[in-house]
Amino acid sequence: MKKHISNLHRLHQKMLARYGENDNLVLQLTQEIKLAEAAQQESKVGSDRRQQRDQQLASPAPLQ
């Protein structure tokens, strides 16, 4: 996913330099980057939660 977002950023910079910030393609790339970054963030949060759950399940229950 990081590579995909990085490629989108590079393409965005090229198109921005070529066509300007008000071009439809540049605006669409900007939106696509935001969506990809949001999806990556959601994936990271979900992964962190799964890792925490797995750690809790792996640790022994405290004795009372």
pLDDT in tens, 6-52: 999 999 999 999 999 999 999 999 999 999 999 988 887 777 777 77
pTM of the model: 0.69
Q: Which residues of 52-64 are buried (b: 16+ CB within 10 A; e: fewer)?
A: eeeeeeeeeeeee
Per-residue pLDDT, 23 = 96
Within a 10 A sphere around the Cβ of 45, how many other Cβ atoms? 10
Q: Is 63 helix (H, G, I), strand (E, B) or coil?
A: coil
> What DSSP string runs through 11-38?
HHHHHHHHH-TTSHHHHHHHHHHHHHHH
